[in-house]
């Protein structure tokens, strides 16, 4: 797709509705890549809060959390993730 106006890359925020029309049948999930599990707890909480907000508003249909063998270490970010999963893990999403 060629861009309009000043944007040679074709990224026109005004045409987001057009993209949504073409992709409405796709299921959208949030992907949280936990490569750096030693991240700050506040940053992990921000990721999880956003994920919960998107799930609750049914803007996404699920969450994919990809971790590593370091997920069992006693890090603040790991504890934050486990607390979040304990709190929201059994909650139904939308019409599910």
Helix (H), strand (E) counts: the chain:
3, 2
Q: Looking at the domain assignment, is residue 74 inside a domain?
A: yes
In a domain, 1, yes or no: no
Pairwise CA distance, residues 55 & 17, whole Å: 20
Is 37 contained in some domain? Answer: yes
Separation between Cα atoms, residue 28 and residue 87, nearest integer Å: 22
- At residue 83, the pLDDT reads 93
- Residues 32-77: pLDDT tens digits? 766 555 678 888 899 899 989 888 888 888 888 877 788 888 888 8
- If one counts the domains in the chain, the total is 1
In a domain, 69, yes or no: yes
pLDDT score for 60: 82
Kindly state whether residue 30 falls inside one of the protein's structural domains: yes
Show the beta-strand stretches assigned E in the chain.
29-33, 62-66
- Is the confidence at residue 30, as pLDDT, over 60? yes
Structural domain range at position 83: 25-88
- Residue 78: exposed, middle, or buried by beta-carbon count in 10 A (0-12, 13-18, 19+)? buried
User: In sequence order, what are the beta bridge partners of 30?
Assistant: 63
Residue 12 covered by a domain: no
Residue 38 lies in a domain: yes
In a domain? residue 71: yes
Alpha helices in 3-40 (DSSP H): 16-23
């Amino acid at each position: 797709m060629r861009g309009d106006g000043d944007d040679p890359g074709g990224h026109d925020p005004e045409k987001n509705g057009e993209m949504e029309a073409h992709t409405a049948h796709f299921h959208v999930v949030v992907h949280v890549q936990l490569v750096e599990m030693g991240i700050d707890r506040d940053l992990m909480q921000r990721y999880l809060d956003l994920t919960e907000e998107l799930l609750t508003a049914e803007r996404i249909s699920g969450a994919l959390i990809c971790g590593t063998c370091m997920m069992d270490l006693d890090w603040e970010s790991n504890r934050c993730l486990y607390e979040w999963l304990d709190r929201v893990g059994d909650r139904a999403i939308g019409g599910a």
